[in-house]
Amino acid sequence: AIVQPGGRYYNDPTGYAMHRFAYYPCFKCKHAYYGGEHECAAAVAGDTFDPEELICGGCSPHAAVQNCPKHGTDYLEFKCRFCCSVAVFFCFGTTHFCNSCHSNCSIVLNCTKLPACPAGSPAIQLTGSCPLRIPHPPTGEEFALGCGICRNAKT
């Protein structure tokens, strides 16, 4: 798209990025932050959102609590909002998803009652112990797991 002569975004990487990715103004600091891809937001939420929910990583209360003394907030990992897995997607400027919940977002976003811990994806009640092996808030809430580098070094 960017390197193909005659393409819509030929030699225009900024235009391509603005077309593909969603940036939101942080309600607290007013700076723009990356909040996922436009295609995700368009498929689910459209233009209906509460601006007060749009908080960048730096202003997030989770970031202050989970600031790694060695790596800062650069490698902060989050729990999937809908199950007990590590998140790999950040969508709508507000929501962390694991791969499976992201692929099945219509199920998890329309679920009237999310499963309790231990929770699997998509919206499946598991038995036994939590796969994350750390205390965390119930499904449906955002939660920072801590520094991914330090967490993985411990395992």
Active-site residue flag, 56: no
Considering the candidates 40, 80, 98, 117, report the single residue annotated as catalytic: 40
d(CA 67, CA 90): 19
Residue 26 falls in the annotated catalytic set = no
Residues 6+ apart with CB under 8 A from 5: none
Helix, coil or strand: residue 93: coil
Which among 26, 56, 84, 91 is annotated as catalytic? 91
Alpha-helical regions (H) of the chain? 13-20, 38-44, 61-65, 99-103, 105-109, 148-154
Active site positions, annotated: 40, 91
